[in-house]
């Protein structure tokens, strides 16, 4: 598929309620848990977010979403560059080709890079990467989404996060 140019038009009007971008049913289908509560959150002004929570018996787990729009493209690019420098390189995820940022040579940087892997993810919006904490950052036009699943006993988090990000981007 063709990618939009970096300076492309916005993905529509600014999002005011991030909780409308995923349903409890979407989350239950992908993550496998019934959502117990849905709460709007706003970490920064004009960056609406939402948290969907459930109890796993071990503790509280959740899906969190933050939307940056307008200004999402600039935030995406800035966050990606920061995470790449912090991680010391780019590791390929899925079929995405590692295209830039040669890894640092020191053992310490390599160890940090293993903990804070950053990799491009193909097929999400105009561009996407998975950053530290298996957070997906994806951009469509000038709207960025940041999506994370916190579930201490689930080892399928990366794939499930990508599935949910596809649903969110489909609503933009």
Lowest mean pLDDT among 29-38, 89-98, 112-121: 89-98
DSSP codes, 57-119:
SSSEEEEEEEEE-SSHHHHHHHHHHHHHHHHTS----TTPPP-S-PPP-SHHHHHHHHHT--E
Give me the mean pLDDT over the 158-169 stretch.
95
Question: How high is the pLDDT of residue 99?
Answer: 38
Residue 77 has pLDDT above 50, yes or no: yes
| More reliable by pLDDT, 114 or 71 | 71
Give me the mean pLDDT over the 88-103 stretch.
40
Strands (E), the chain: 37-44, 47-55, 60-68, 119-120, 127-131, 135-140, 143-150
- Report whether 16 contacts 154 (CB < 8 A): no
- Residue 44: band (very low, low, confident or very high) from pLDDT cuts 50, 70, 90: confident
Give me the mean pLDDT over the 100-125 stretch.
58
Strand partners, 33: none
Residues 6+ apart with CB under 8 A from 126: 3, 4, 8, 139, 140, 141
Residue 45 has pLDDT above 50, yes or no: yes
Average pLDDT, the chain: 79
């Amino acid at each position: 598929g063709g990618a939009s140019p970096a300076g492309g038009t916005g993905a529509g009007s600014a999002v005011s309620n991030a909780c409308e971008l995923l349903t409890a049913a979407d989350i239950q289908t992908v993550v496998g848990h019934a959502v117990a509560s849905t709460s709007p959150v706003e970490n920064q002004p004009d960056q609406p977010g939402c948290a969907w929570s459930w109890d796993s018996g071990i503790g509280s787990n959740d899906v969190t979403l933050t939307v940056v729009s307008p200004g999402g493209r600039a935030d995406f690019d800035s966050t990606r560059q920061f995470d790449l420098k912090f991680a010391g390189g780019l590791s390929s995820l899925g079929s995405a080709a590692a295209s830039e940022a040669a890894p640092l040579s020191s053992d310490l940087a390599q160890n940090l890079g293993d903990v804070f892997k950053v990799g491009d993810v193909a097929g999400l919006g105009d561009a996407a990467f998975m950053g530290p904490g298996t957070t997906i950052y994806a951009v469509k036009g000038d709207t960025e989404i940041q999506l994370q699943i916190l579930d201490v006993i689930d080892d399928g988090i990366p794939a499930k996060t990508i599935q949910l990000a596809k649903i969110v981007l489909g609503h933009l």
